[in-house]
A and B are shown apart, each in its own frame.
Chain A
Amino acid sequence: MSATATVDMKPEGLRERLTARRLVLTLVVLGIVLVLFVAIATAVGSEHVTIGSVLRIVAAEITGRTADVTPEQRIIIAGIRLPRVLMAIVVGAALSVAGGAYQALLRNPLGDPYILGVSTGAALGAILATVFAETLPLSRPAAAFIGAVATIAVVYVLGQSRHGGTSERLILAGVIVNAFLSSGVIFLVTTASGSRQRSVLSWLIGDLSGESRLLPLVGLFVLAGIGVIYANARSLNLLMTGEEEALALGVEVTRVKVTVYLAASLITGAAVAVSGVIGFVGLIVPHAIRLAGGSDNRLVIPASALVGGAFLLLADTVARTVISPRELHIGVITAMIGAPVFIYLLRRTS
């Protein structure tokens, strides 16, 4: 990170021209780092399984043969640890890309699915589905989607004024809506029955230890959403210079905004549907990337996906190994790192 780097959301942030070569090189390096993280995270856990056994199990899963290991080892690696590793990556990538997209749309470094209330809206939807429609298949992710999209729509409308919306108004609206939705979630926690209380509460603080049945579906959604946002990366670059300028340059501003807002909110909903509310990931990761490599969204969006996946994977691995066999809440770890970064950003933007 160079000392002169700014967290500026203005076009000067695009200080270096992004060449195709630099983009590909950066993403390949980040991809290799992520693969390395996956290898480490799959090798460590509360139960010790030798590297050799882990490799045999993973190979057997891919080729569909049976590995020469105990049934417990197979369940631990293939049924528990590996799905959780993949879940962390999908959720981290989704939240980071959503954060990067909101920041670009709002031209404000405080754009983040958690701060804008989208995460809490999705969590509220998911909890309502859990409490009232548990038997309906896919009710939880569907309700999380609806909650996320409804929240961003409300926040957007509240953030408008007669002169169009300013990003500060939108963020303020997000904070207020988030507080309102949080009170709804807390109300549901206090009225839930005893045995369900803990699982409802875990939505509020985030938890990646849940069932992995939804992983393929959520992974697909998140990939598609990231793809849609990436396809609009150039338009986002132009939007960051200002809406009128973008219009003059032929960007269909309304279409791009609606598409990206929707896609970012949907992938937030997908992530929350499996992991609950995990704060700060969407805030820190895109910023770190802008600081290091400039504000060109063609880099920020895909790099956020890779770095966000790696960051949440690291946090979750710490959460499940530090006091094993007990587990920490992942939200504790992301917030511990995230809160100081957040304060730092506030200092920078004041």
Chain B
Amino acid sequence: MHSQGSITFKESSRQAGCSQRAHRRALLFAGIALAAMACTACVSKSAAPDGTRPFVDEIGRTIQVKLHPQRIVSLAPSVTETLFALGLGDRIVGVTSYCDYPVEATSKERVGDTMRPGIERIVALKPDLVIASTASQLEEFVHSLDQAGVPIYVSNPRDMEGVLKSIEMTAELTGVSERGRDLCDQLRARIEAVQARTDRLERPRVLFVLSSSPLITAGGRSFINDLINRAGGRSISADQNSDYPQYSLETAVAGRPEVIFLQTGDAAFPNRLKETPAATSGRVFHLDNNLLLRPGPRVVQGLEEMATRIHPEAFGKSENPE
């Protein structure tokens, strides 16, 4: 699992042509992953007198959580989807206004959006556990909840491997380790099935458009870049260090992308990309960004959709499986 994670890093950076930094990063990544493993391994199963046990979250904070938390507040759509996938929907007492999947999530109490959750409402819900994600950048908020004495777990999935890790940790945290392992095995099998089909194929140049005006793409360290690599493509903006850079249209055209992904809801297709190989061969696709940008279990579905569009020949499908 780890070696796989680091291989991906090396692969993606060989294209970027900076193997030394990638090495360091791979080592760092493996180190962090190992440390996280070690920490979860040393979590004692025996509860403290007050019925809680220490647990280390994905950004290295130690929190005190009940063995089987029954009242959970989710502060990210990816977390909500993970909890439902683990069969814990009935334990959720609060979600954000962005949590729209599965349908049952929309009937839960709203605690605000991911940027500014209402701390008073969260405390009033008397949760045993709050789960946030670094995807929503809530460092300040985590601190406030700490002060209020509410146990808050922060998940930090940086790539596909991190998503699986997050699901397993969430399962362990909520006392359903068995289900977590089953779910991760299924997801991993699907990921490997995709990679087995695309690994040896020619990698088309991909332009991922997060926003068309201004043009914003996915950089080399972003979650999306990992998806593109696993789907058998090669992002033309993989050499960029920031996650989601505002990108020069000139460079996008010069990169001659063979596949372009747009977001559903981003209505306009930039006129000046109309003569790229992707557009002339009709390989411009809209993807549901909720499947790509939410590091939860559905991201595997996003990967499958991406892969079938990058390599329709490998999946025996027409260009548009919709």
Contact = CB atoms under 8 A, between A and B. Distances in A.
Interface of A: 45-47, 71-72, 75-76, 79-81, 134, 190, 193-196, 198-199, 202, 207, 209-211, 213, 320, 324-327, 329
Nearest to B115: A190
A255 B215 CA distance: 44
Nearest to B252: A325
Given A45-B248, A72-B254, A75-B253, A195 B265 contact: yes
26 contacts: A46-B250, A71-B275, A72-B253, A75-B272, A76-B253, A134-B267, A193-B265, A194-B265, A194-B293, A195-B264, A196-B265, A198-B211, A198-B214, A199-B211, A207-B214, A209-B214, A211-B213, A211-B270, A211-B271, A325-B248, A325-B250, A326-B242, A326-B245, A326-B246, A327-B214, A327-B248
A50 to B, nearest CB: 14
B104 interface: no
Nearest to A197: B211
Contacts of B320: none
Interface string B227-261: 00000000001001010011111110110100000
Contact of B213 (A134, A209, A326): A209
Given A75-B275, A199-B211, A209 B249 contact: yes
Contacts of A71: 275
B215 A209 contact: yes
B216 interface: yes
A81 B213 contact: no
Contacts of B247: 325-327
A76 to B, nearest CB: 5
Nearest to A46: B248
A341 to B, nearest CB: 26
- Those 10 A-B pairs whose CB atoms lie nearest each other, nearest first: A325-B251, A46-B248, A198-B211, A325-B248, A47-B250, A195-B263, A326-B245, A47-B254, A195-B265, A195-B266
Nearest to A194: B289
Given A72-B253, A209-B213, A327-B248, 16 more contacts: A46-B248, A47-B253, A47-B254, A79-B272, A80-B253, A194-B265, A196-B265, A196-B266, A199-B211, A199-B212, A202-B213, A207-B214, A211-B270, A320-B248, A325-B240, A326-B245
Given A71-B275, A194-B289, A209-B215, A324 B266 contact: no
